Amino acid sequence: MAEVTYLEALRQGLWEEMERDPRVFILGEDVGAYGGAFKVTDGFAKQFGEERVIDTPISEAAIVGAAAGAAHMGMRPVAEMQFIDFISCAYDMLTNYVATARYRAGLATPMVVRGPCGGYVRGGPFHSQNPEAAFFHTPGLKIVYPATARDAKGLIKASIRDDDPVIYLEHKWLYRRIKEQLPEGEDLLTPIGEARLAREGKDLSIVTYGATVWKALEAAEQLAKDDGLSVEVLDLRTLLPMDDAAIMRTVEKTNKVLIVHEDTRTGGVAGEIAARINEQAFAWLDGPIMRVTAHDVPLPYAPTLEDFVLPQTDDIVKAARWLAAY
Amino acid sequence: MPSRAAPTTQSPPVPAGLTRDQLLDMYRYLRLTRTLEERLVALYRQSKVIGGLFRSLGQEGESVASAYALDRGRNRDVLSPLIRNLGSMLVMGAQPIQILRQYMAKAESPTRGRELNVHFNDLERGYLGQISHLGDMVPVMAGIALTFKLRGEPRVGLVYIGDGATSTGTFHEGLNFAAVQRVPLVVIVEYNRWAYSTPPEKQFAVKDLAEKAKGYGVPGVTVDGNDVLAVYEATRFAAERARGGHGVHVIEVKTYRRTGHAEHDDQHYVPKDELDWWAKQNDPVDRYVKRLLQSEWVEERELQAIDERTRAEIDQATDACIDEPLPPGDSALEGVYANPPALTPHWYRTL
């Protein structure tokens, strides 16, 4: 066992897959000699050569499109978006070309598009986004969003091995903040489509993913101490396809649900989760399904503004308290 | 290399290393394209074609000749056709019955009724269907060519792009990426005068689209797109250059779209005399036939025999599929993902 950060776990996963499978290659901006803006691919070019760690022009559509072409030919490309905010430049390529390829044309497109997401880092409107809702609506894509170091590794490996295109969202606030003991020499895989019970409880459930898993756990701890409330936390890990069974299990157990995500509210993933609970577990509810999310504004830069807009641990505590008393 | 044809009479030598059989073979693909499209027009008028019908009338020459210049043997090259490159797909091995089934949305069509017209692919045969978002195939084909480079395979990618689509961002990104990576990619820019109804002067400010190649540091040439042999030679040169590791090559083919954007479009925006001139003076099939006959490379009866065989082939293909069923509705839920292989219908469908 060795203690590794979320970032190191991701790096290990990529490294191991590059070693295991010669079809895997990486392409993106500054990923080669420089090792990536966050050093996720540091040392890769030296180890695997610049043919397998390709520095590209600033061309997200070309990065994703070229990855798709290579994937059709049997390669397993991993495309990096330097910041996930720039994935919107490849929106057409991902939603129209990549996502539809299997369905419309029977074309396998096994590829991963990954990149650093999320706020709490004073990154401002274009280095803090969470783009999941923009792709969540697109049949043909899969979306994973690890919260732990173990899943950062397990999901990148599973994504690379998946036969369909996967958007792998990694939270930059977690990169070096989260550390975990991971077994060495074990082929660590996290199955795509399976949620993880991050904390067991019986009074109320928090359904969440990404960085807010940690805020929810912090809130649960505080509620246990201050209010004697037993809060369950479900870490979705995969957003598409969503683990409905795990969500309904926790609803049936606690009968009250708070959905928490860092992304903005309107048209966000929480709305879809609420609709599914309504359709599949309405009879089990003892209160309204409530949401804690970012406010519907572009994410501002100043700490006072960013902290106000994003969901904080204290928001989750207050919301959970309100719902528990309902 | 195919052997140079031994001229039977005093005819000039066959150009570009083509054999007499190959010249006839190219003629067969030209005729096949035109006859198949004429059949599709008839089917369209009978409402057998479900969606729109896109023709390549006037552009068959460059489509057939460019594809014919690729390696279709052991080192199978891959091309990505547009809606006006039916001929290129036929050359690579697409079957007329597949095209007919596609247009009529039959269950047995290559896409099982999911996609329209020539939007389908067969990577074994060497063609990758386009999507409607013009320009997108340039990065994708750059990725296919990149794979050839990474694996050290002596294969080439070829992508067609219309004059209008040179305005897209993906054309720029894809071409630049391919040029920087020096991947084996041939880019055929089709200057056919009309992007739907938009003329070139409202689309770009260069005279010849080959000029754009300069901006990417790759060679660009302009070729008479209705001269079959000229397009063949230019593409052959570009493909072999790419195969030899020298990277991207742009070929602008000057041609003319003689029908509307699709069959519904009456082309009222096109000057009538211009259209007549291209039809009467510069039809690629007529020009090719004239060249073949005047050079005495082939005999007229050989061409007539091909015409007859082609008509029979299209008749047979039409008869074989015209009464086939459409796909069952619930097959729409299959194949979004490898796993699960099918989605389940919504709850109210089981009430």
B57-69: pLDDT as tens digits: 999 999 999 999 9
pLDDT of residue B351: 94
The residue type found at A115 is G
Peptide bond before residue A241 is cis, with ω within 30 degrees of 0:
yes
**CB spacing of A92 vs B170 below 8 angstroms:** yes
CB B58 within 8 A of CB B284: yes
Closest listed residue to residue A138, CA positions, set A106, A85, A93: A93
CB A94 within 8 A of CB A62: no
pLDDT of residue B15: 76
Measured in degrees and rounded to the nearest 5, phi and psi for residue B74 equal -65, -45
Residues of A in contact with B136 (CB under 8 A): 61, 65, 92-93, 96-97
CB A123 within 8 A of CB A131: no
Q: Residue A117 has which token pair?
A: 């997401």
- In the predicted model, residues of chain A with pLDDT beneath 50 are none
Q: Which candidate in B39, B112, B243, B257 is catalytic? A: B257
What residue of A is the nearest CA neighbor of B150? Answer: A51
CB contacts under 8 A, B 170-189 vs A, are: 170, 173-174, 176-177, 180-181
A244: exposed, middle or buried (Cβ count in 10 Å: 0-12, 13-18, 19+)? middle
CB A65 within 8 A of CB A95: no
Q: Which candidate in A127, A171, A261, A295 is catalytic? A: A127
Is B257 catalytic? The answer is yes
CB contacts under 8 A, A 243-282 vs B, are: 279
Kindly state whether B215 is in contact with chain A, defined as any CB-CB distance less than 8 angstroms.
Answer: no
Closest listed residue to residue B153, CA positions, set B78, B238, B234: B78
Q: How many CA atoms lie within 13 A of B32 on its CB side?
A: 27
The ipTM estimated for the assembled molecules is: 0.95
How crowded is residue B295: how many other Cβ atoms within 10 Å of its Cβ? Answer: 16
Is the pLDDT reported for residue B4 higher than 50? no
What order of strands is seen across the sheet that includes strand A53-55? A53-55, A24-28, A76-80, A112-117, A166-171, A142-144, A238-240
Between the alpha carbon of residue B228 and those of residues A271, B222, B253, B275, the distances in Å are 58, 14, 11, 20
Q: State the Cα–Cα distance between residues B149 and B145, nearest whole angstrom.
A: 6
What residue of A is the nearest CA neighbor of B119? Answer: A105
**B37-50: average pLDDT:** 97
Interface residue of B150, B155, B216, B347 to substitute, partner A, most A CBs within 10 Å = B150
How crowded is residue B274: how many other Cβ atoms within 10 Å of its Cβ? Answer: 12
State the distance between the two ends of chain A, measured CA to CA, in whole angstroms. 44
* pLDDT bracket for residue B2 (50, 70, 90): very low
Is the pLDDT reported for residue B209 higher than 90? yes
Residue A302 to chain B, least CA–CA distance (Å) = 34
Kindly state whether A25 is in contact with chain B, defined as any CB-CB distance less than 8 angstroms.
Answer: yes
Look at the alpha carbons of A324, A268, A233, A310 in this order and tell me if their dihedral is positive or negative.
negative
Residues of A in contact with B132 (CB under 8 A): 96
Is the pLDDT reported for residue B16 higher than 80? no
Q: State the Cα–Cα distance between residues B92 and B73, nearest whole angstrom.
A: 10
Interface residue of A23, A98, A104, A107 to substitute, partner B, most B CBs within 10 Å = A104
B109 DSSP β-pair partners: none
Q: State the Cα–Cα distance between residues B140 and B163, nearest whole angstrom.
A: 19
Is the pLDDT reported for residue B190 higher than 50? yes
Is B72 catalytic? The answer is no
pLDDT of residue B222: 98
* pLDDT bracket for residue B10 (50, 70, 90): low
Between the alpha carbon of residue B103 and those of residues A157, A287, B41, B178, B250, the distances in Å are 41, 53, 11, 33, 31
CB B94 within 8 A of CB B125: yes
Is the pLDDT reported for residue B9 higher than 50? no
* pLDDT bracket for residue B8 (50, 70, 90): very low
* pLDDT bracket for residue B5 (50, 70, 90): very low
pLDDT of residue B13: 74
Q: 3-class DSSP state for residue A231?
A: strand
Q: Residue B67 has which token pair?
A: 């594809």
Residues of A in contact with B148 (CB under 8 A): 73
How crowded is residue B167: how many other Cβ atoms within 10 Å of its Cβ? Answer: 16
Is the pLDDT reported for residue B1 higher than 60? no
Residue B131 to chain A, least CA–CA distance (Å) = 7
pLDDT digits 0-9 by tens, A168-186:
999 999 999 999 999 988 8
What residue of A is the nearest CA neighbor of B333? Answer: A103
CB contacts under 8 A, A 137-176 vs B, are: 139-140, 142, 162-164
Tokens 């005068």: give the residue: B193
Is B269 catalytic? The answer is yes
Kindly state whether A104 is in contact with chain B, defined as any CB-CB distance less than 8 angstroms.
Answer: yes
